[in-house]
Amino acid sequence: MARPLRKHLSRREGEIMDIVYRLGEGTVSDVAGLMRDDPSYDTVRVTLGILSRKGHLRHRREGRRYVYSPTVPHEKATRSALQGVVRTFFGGSPSKAILTMLDASAEQLTAEELALIAKTIEKERKR
């Protein structure tokens, strides 16, 4: 079973990973420009290096700068992180996690989102 990819990431590392996934790839300046608390260039550079050493990012050189990209596709990282949450908080039960999510966000779901959820459930029943 794959380990959750977000496990052992600091808040800042998690924020940087979110930004790199959103961008697809980016330089230190690209990432720093999108961060909430306006960290220094060196802080972002060092953190990107740490994420590379941890295996979350790869980089390539373009002229004098490095361009960073995720080592794992976003969908796989999302699935792995969600599996970790389900294991940790819901005793490994996807149904408990789904019911909790529905209960917690019932007022926020649009009719289209509810229809998609119902359609997905019906599709899974037929499998």
Give the pLDDT confidence of 113-123 residue by residue, as tens digits: 989 999 999 99
Structural domain boundaries enclosing 121: 93-127
9 and 25: one domain?
yes
105 and 61: one domain?
no
pLDDT-derived band at 109 (thresholds 50, 70, 90) equals confident
Give the pLDDT mean for 6-27: 90
Q: What is the largest CA-CA distance in the chain?
A: 55
74 and 88: one domain?
yes
Q: What's the CA gap between 50 and 38, in Å, rounded?
A: 19
What pTM was computed for the model?
A: 0.69
82 and 122: one domain?
no
pLDDT-derived band at 68 (thresholds 50, 70, 90) equals very high
Greater pLDDT, 3 or 71: 71
Concatenated DSSP letters for 31-85? Answer: HHHH-TT---HHHHHHHHHHHHHTTSEEEEEETTEEEEEESS-HHHHHHHHHHHH
Residues of the chain with pLDDT > 90: what percent? Answer: 68
The tally of domains found in the chain comes to 2
